[in-house]
Amino acid sequence: MFPIAAPVAAPAPSAAVSTARRPSRPLWRVSRLLAFVALLALAALCAPASAQDWSYRVRPGDTLWDLGAKHLKTGIDWRRLQQHNGIADPYHLPPGTRMRFPIGWLRIEPAKARVIAVRGAVNWLASDKSPAQLVGEGLRLGIGSRLETGPGASATLEFADGSRMTVQDNSAVVFDELSSYGATGMVDTRMRLQRGRATNRVTPALGPASRYIIETPSATSSVRGTRFRISAGDAGARDATEVLEGKVQVGAQRGQVLVTPGYGTLAGGGDAPSAPIALLPAPQLDPAATVLDQLPARAGWNAVPGASGYRVEVVRDDAPEVLLFEQSTTTPQVRIDDLPPGRQRLLVRAVAANGLGGQDLLQAFTVDAGPAPPLTLAPLDGQSLRLPRPRFEWAKVEGAATSRVQIARDADFAAPLIDEAVRGQRLRPGRDLEPGSYFWRVASRDGDGRLGRFGNALPFQISDAPVDPGLEPPQSAQGKLTLRWQRGEPGQRYRVQISRKADFSKLLLEREADEPQIEIDRPGSGAWHVRVQTIEDDGYAAPYGPAQEIRLPCRLCYAAGGAGALLLLLAL
């Protein structure tokens, strides 16, 4: 049978009865405690009689007092170590011989977990009463710490023995024990996955006291060197353990099961873990639907019978525990818009209807750095625009031959409305954008055709308010009529139309001007309609502003002399 943890003696009957009678301890905690004790007791039955001892191979120059000072707790004399090993001459320890150290005598020290990779918004709390803080690489987490990942976020931790755990998005884990047995290499790592998912790569145990235990709401998984995935059931789903390498002992209130590679188990509702269930096979990559060497990357694969969906991940090829991308999908395809440069690894697995993830499709690929994303100039982040075809501008990146501009309704750019290759650093869309909220981003492509990463997705709005140049009241003097309006942006020109008819079907005047005013011979008296259009420096003509009505008096009212100019009010 597979040993899973340092053996512990079963509690005496009187102790068990005493604990059960405490009114302050909830019944579910009692049942969980008993299940955990049963799991450890099972390991004790299966372990050899000497499992309580850590074995050390004597090296040249070792002495009993030096070894005692290095490994034993304070207050335990080296003479007890001599007696335990039956050593007649404490001054002569033959190199290569084995010396036994009782586990209970070994010095125990804190062994904090270290964060080695962070993606997205990840928080940690030193205790239940501590404020949440953002997690950064290099942070060390001690006993009692809580780590929480948000949507699209993950964190990878390394423990004292080199074991690693990747906490995936929308997850929470509490660290109950993070200790090491002095310099023996044995560690005690115990945690609770309260929600979400985690992937684990556990270093083979170096001694009988080494533990790596993860508790979920319905089960406890204990290992001594393996690679496995675990999830805490969400929305009524059962907790799942999926074994990829090695073996995992999974225990619950009513029993336990040993899970081997290629199998998984489910637990929930107070029942014993299910008998091992074969994981779904790995999907097969579809080369015709897969492009991974340029961004945005795309991957397609064959549908797996029995799959209700798929889980897609991208990890670093040299550090598979560092998660770069993750997404769930119900279709056998995925689009990946952004990845850091370097050697990566694509993982795709089918998810069965019972919630167990299957074997992984593995495909290594390289993301070329390509040119850097350009700095954006206009529109500004969050700017509201009145033009239905605004102009987008960005800086030129050294080595860039063209740019790629995308405009979409959503920040994920799942279905871009505009996706254009542009020579230069400006784009005016070839179609009107309806009023509403949008996002835009831009990337550079070099002369070899390599597309670099997209810059940040920048929000902007198209307003439904009309473009109004702000026509001022006209002025009349010496038989002339002067119209003025608000000055636009530098480089803009203007087109003015005057008509008797409100629909401008018959024009009295249509004139372009560089300045925001025109002077014309006075038209006849009565009602006239005027509107102004802004012309951008690239020739784009914005929609006309709202038409305005002016009423002119009879000819006799046009008096000579600039000082006596008549101000005519607009009837809007």
Count Cβ atoms below 10 Å from residue 291 Cβ, excluding itself. 15
Spell out the long-range contacts of 252-261 with Cβ–Cβ below 8 A and sequence spacing 24 or more: 252/35, 252/218, 252/219, 252/220, 253/31, 253/32, 253/34, 253/35, 254/35, 256/38, 256/39, 256/42, 258/1, 258/2, 259/228
Q: Is 284:269 a contact under the CB 8 Å cutoff? A: no
Burial class for 428, CB neighbours closer than 10 Å (0-12, 13-18, 19+): middle
Q: What's the pLDDT at 261?
A: 95
pTM for the model: 0.61
Distances in Å between the Cα of 238 and the Cα atoms of 40, 82, 393, 443, 516 are 23, 51, 51, 43, 70
Distance, CA of 374 to CA of 456 (rounded, Å): 10
Q: What's the pLDDT at 365?
A: 93
Q: What's the pLDDT at 472?
A: 62
For residue 204, the one-letter residue type is P
Q: What's the pLDDT at 243?
A: 95
- Closest by CA to 493, choosing from 530, 535, 541, 531, is 535
- Ramachandran sector of residue 340 (left: φ over 0; alpha: ψ -120 to 50; beta: rest): beta
Q: What's the pLDDT at 555?
A: 54
Q: Is 395:378 a contact under the CB 8 Å cutoff? A: no
Q: What is the mean pLDDT of each run of 10 residues along the chain (572 residues)?
A: 35 33 39 45 38 83 88 88 89 88 88 92 88 92 93 93 93 93 88 94 86 91 90 83 94 90 91 94 94 85 96 92 92 89 93 94 87 85 88 87 92 87 91 93 86 86 75 64 79 88 88 86 83 84 82 56 35 26
- Closest by CA to 187, choosing from 166, 202, 165, is 202
Question: What order do you get walking across the sheet with 436-446 strand by strand?
Answer: 383-385, 458-462, 436-446, 400-408, 418-422
| Phi and psi angles of residue 312, each rounded to the nearest 5 degrees, phi first | -115, 135
Distances in Å between the Cα of 135 and the Cα atoms of 124, 192, 557 are 6, 19, 77
Q: What's the pLDDT at 31?
A: 46
- Closest by CA to 85, choosing from 72, 98, 103, is 98
Distance, CA of 280 to CA of 492 (rounded, Å): 63
Q: Could you give the angle at which helices 27-46 and 13-20 cross, rounded to 10 degrees?
A: 160
Which letter does DSSP use for residue 453 in this model?
Answer: -
For the chain, which domains are there? 13-105 (3.10.350.10), 109-278 (2.60.120.1440), 287-367 (2.60.40.10), 376-462 (2.60.40.10), 475-571 (2.60.40.10)
- Closest by CA to 322, choosing from 456, 168, 453, 123, is 168
- Ramachandran sector of residue 44 (left: φ over 0; alpha: ψ -120 to 50; beta: rest): alpha
Q: What's the pLDDT at 371?
A: 83
- Closest by CA to 211, choosing from 181, 188, 228, is 188
Distance, CA of 307 to CA of 384 (rounded, Å): 45
